[in-house]
Amino acid sequence: MWEVGVQVLTLYAFSTENWTRPKIEVEALMQLLASMLRREVSELDKKGVQLRTIGQTDQLPPRVRDELTRATAKLKHNKGLVLNLALNYGGRQEIVDAVNRILKAGVKRVDDKIFSRFLDTLDLPDPDMVIRTSGEQRISNFLLFQAAYAEFYSTKVFWPDFRRQDLYEAILDYQHRERRFGATSEQMSKSHGMAAVV
């Protein structure tokens, strides 16, 4: 992905709302996640990918947590693409958690920069683009604070069928947009190279 300028790719893998799905479906998703981590970690390592997570991963099943721990430890020193998995993640919950961390830290005055330091994405850049698959037009409780100035791209391709070519098409569309969000032209030219895929 970094060959086209994507430095950080966040995938909305499992939301806090997904727990309300049928139990058998949730179990299948957890099994799929654990097996995917086990199967793909060597290939990710070869490509220099660093794996991170956001969300309340401590509430995931033990086998998934174990695979996540192994995978992130193996890939943590890699310097290529940062693959950020949003697991048991919800944007509202992240904001509530950040507020509670701020209160616990005894911070008396907060601005957006200070607030950002208490989010799950504290050391990652805000997304330049949010890709919404399945033709959906809603944000779906994803990176609510961070996506304030992200460009949105909607595709009718369903997530399981989303491929590299689909990502390239989204990036090409993004490259033809003029980003305007109250920043100077110098700030606008400093792209973070992050795509967040829902």
First vs last C-alpha separation in the chain: 16
Question: Which pLDDT band holds residue 21 (cuts at 50, 70, 90)?
Answer: very high
135 vs 42, more confident: 42
- Determine contact, residues 155/195, Cβ cutoff 8 Å: no
Neighbours of 31 (CB within 10 A): 13
pLDDT at site 159: 83
| Segment 118-125 mean pLDDT | 94
Which of 196, 126, 138 has its CA nearest to residue 167?
196
Please give the model's pTM, rounded to 2 decimal places. Answer: 0.86
pLDDT of amino acid 142 = 94
